[in-house]
Amino acid sequence: MDYFIVLIPLIGLLWFLNLTAMLQKLSNKKDIHNQVVLGGFLTIFLILGFMLWHL
């Protein structure tokens, strides 16, 4: 269970980088579908990581 100490911040960092990439594409009026899908998966994995960490 010690790997959650590294896994959760790593997923959080990827989530933040995806958010900034999505906002840049949105301001340039480009398609953001890939960032939305990736953000959904990262959010699910982040919530799952928090839930499993507290077991």
Question: DSSP characters for the chain?
Answer: -TTHHHHHHHHHHHHHHHHHHHHHHHHTT---HHHHHHHHHHHHHHHHHHHHHT-
Locate 54 and state its tokens. 């507290």
User: What residues does each domain of the chain span?
Assistant: 4-53
Per-residue pLDDT of the chain (55 residues; tens, 9 = 90+): 788 889 999 999 999 999 999 999 999 999 999 999 999 999 999 999 999 988 8
- Asked if 39 and 15 touch (Cβ cutoff 8 Å), the reply is yes
Q: Which amino acid would we find at residue 3?
A: Y
